[in-house]
Amino acid sequence: MTAPHTSLSVTTEVDQLLHRLGVPRAAHTGGDLAVRSPITGEVIAQVPTTSSSEASQVIGRAHAAFPAWRDLPAPRRGELVRLLGEELRAAKADLGRLVTLEAGKVPSEGAGEVQEMIDICDFAVGLSRQLYGLTLATERAEHRMMESWHPLGVCGVISAFNFPVAVWSWNAALALVCGDPVVWKPSEKTPLTALATHAIAQRALARFGADAPDGLLGLLLGRREVGEVLVDDPRVPVLSATGSTAMGRHVGPKLAARFARAILELGGNNAAIVAPSADLDLALRGIAFAAMGTAGQRCTTLRRLFVHDSIYDRLVPRLAKVYASVKVGDPRESGTLVGPLIDRAAFDGMQRALDESRAAGAIVHGGERVEGIGTPQACYARPALVELAAHDGPVLRETFAPILYVMRYTSLDEAIGWHNAVGAGLSSSIFTLDMREAERFLSSAGSDCGIANVNIGPSGAEIGGAFGGEKETGGGREAGSDSWKAYMRRATNTINYSTRLPLAQGVTFDI
């Protein structure tokens, strides 16, 4: 094992951070779930997992908390989220560092993830005074028709390793102001950041006082079996599940079978089009961050690039140079832009996709293992740029690693056709200075994704917008805009303040 790039070993630093963040030692030692840092591959904790019966009890406590939480006025519920935001501000440096150590993100992305949690708390506090219903025109005289929004019940949250804490906050901040208790099953690869977040939330609850019922926020740790308890429990009327499309294929039908509401945030296979008029310097920077940032392990990572034939030879060789020179390595070291893959399976999946591409005649730049960091369990790879002649083969599926497939196009119709010809529909971009092309891409005849951008890459969304995608991405929306409606139930109310009883559609029923 090579020397770590800090005076502390990862394990020692993790222990210190967990202690400072308020996680008891028993919660991360002596348990059955080994947690590895992708930075060195070493085991940094042994977390005790939640049994099915314990999970059921946690859900039961959240269910019991629902009536008291539901009955508090929404602005008062917002006060808890305000305190959560304050606690997160105070813990930002430590929690961000823990994200780096447990998930392998470079420090600015670790801190950025916690900033995203703070941002959604601020958003949700404002929202707690804006859970508006409409007043609707009624066809009957002296009647009033309106919509009311009511809390739904326990909100389950299942999250993926690559946004180990932000995804919980997108759901929890909204669910809490909407009046729903929250039970969270984080990724088995990142339970430590979940434990720390839970401890931070406990501090907010303690400051909030007795109005917060016992069991309002629950945490279940373990693999998919623990998540399945949440999926199957009829006391959970809404479940937000973030992860692979394969996971969604299991979870979605089960929720549908019991008529629970599903917020599915699944895989992406995001693309960008670089048109002849594009500002190539700007496009280069946008592509580089979107394709290589977070070592290609964002759901919104840029994976497919369609470059107009007339500019291909000006852009792609420059991109290949950036790919060859970007610093890959220990994210704790300054200047590193690409950290480790989460585990060996991710590295093997990347190599399989590259082998398949080579067999199909592609030119592959990069993609090789970067040796010499940590134990053999730590997997670092130089990002791969893959020049393909056809939109076919591995390019059609999401490989959760830094691979960018590049293809030439000659007409915008052709590029949009390829763009939409994959299962996923999460995020998309066009780089162009031509207003007609930009508007066409954003129109109903353009990108079929939940997110469509102009002159920025597909990754790095702000919390103010609704986040999510179509088709195999699952159709769910989280975070901003009116995503809150998924955490509430809508009642249409009609009030008759006349002395008559006119029926709708002019129906008569005289008795």
The Cα–Cα gap between 298 and 284 comes to 19
User: Interface with ligand NAD includes 486 (CB under 6 A)?
Assistant: no
Candidates 241-249, 383-391, 494-502, 503-511: pick the segment binding ligand NAD (CB under 6 A).
Answer: 241-249
Which residues lie below 8 Å from residue 71, measured CB to CB, with a gap of 6+?
none
User: Interface with ligand NAD includes 266 (CB under 6 A)?
Assistant: yes
User: Interface with ligand NAD includes 267 (CB under 6 A)?
Assistant: yes
- Interface residue with ligand NAD among 247, 337, 388, 404 (CB under 6 A) is 247
Taking the complex as a whole, the smallest distance from the CB of residue 483 to ligand NAD amounts, in Å, to 12
User: Interface with ligand NAD includes 398 (CB under 6 A)?
Assistant: yes
Neighbouring-strand partners of residue 43:
36
User: Interface with ligand NAD includes 160 (CB under 6 A)?
Assistant: yes
Taking the complex as a whole, the smallest distance from the CB of residue 60 to ligand NAD amounts, in Å, to 19
User: Interface with ligand NAD includes 243 (CB under 6 A)?
Assistant: yes
Q: Give the 3-state secondary structure of 69-94.
A: HHHCCHHHHHHHHHHHHHHHHHHHHH
| Closer by beta carbon to ligand NAD, 299 or else 353 | 299
User: Interface with ligand NAD includes 473 (CB under 6 A)?
Assistant: yes
Taking the complex as a whole, the smallest distance from the CB of residue 367 to ligand NAD amounts, in Å, to 19
DSSP per residue over 186-247, as a string?
A: --TT-HHHHHHHHHHHHHHHHHH-TTS-TTSEEE--SSHHHHHHHHH-TT--EEEEES-HHH
Beta strands at 270-274 and 143-151: parallel, antiparallel or unpaired? unpaired
| Angle at CA of residue 139, ends 137 and 145, nearest 5° | 45
Give the rounded distance of the alpha carbon of 33 from its chain centre.
23
- Interface residue with ligand NAD among 188, 233, 343, 448 (CB under 6 A) is 188
Give the rounded distance of the alpha carbon of 471 from its chain centre.
16
User: Interface with ligand NAD includes 249 (CB under 6 A)?
Assistant: no
Taking the complex as a whole, the smallest distance from the CB of residue 55 to ligand NAD amounts, in Å, to 11
Beta strands at 424-425 and 470-471: parallel, antiparallel or unpaired? antiparallel
Count of residues interacting with ligand NAD (CB under 6 A): 29
Q: Please, which of residues 298-337 interact with ligand NAD by CB under 6 A?
A: 299
Q: In the structure encoding, which two tokens stand for residue 203, read together?
A: 């501090």
**Residue 15 phi, psi (nearest 5):** -55, -45
Taking the complex as a whole, the smallest distance from the CB of residue 79 to ligand NAD amounts, in Å, to 28
Give the rounded distance of the alpha carbon of 288 from its chain centre.
20
- Interface residue with ligand NAD among 57, 244, 277, 420 (CB under 6 A) is 244
For residue 269, CA distances in Å to 18, 74, 299 come to: 35, 38, 8
User: Interface with ligand NAD includes 428 (CB under 6 A)?
Assistant: no
| Closer by beta carbon to ligand NAD, 208 or else 467 | 467
Taking the complex as a whole, the smallest distance from the CB of residue 292 to ligand NAD amounts, in Å, to 16
Residues contributing to the site for ligand NAD (CB under 6 A): 158-163, 185, 187-188, 223-224, 227-228, 231, 242-244, 247, 250-251, 265-268, 299, 398, 400, 426, 473
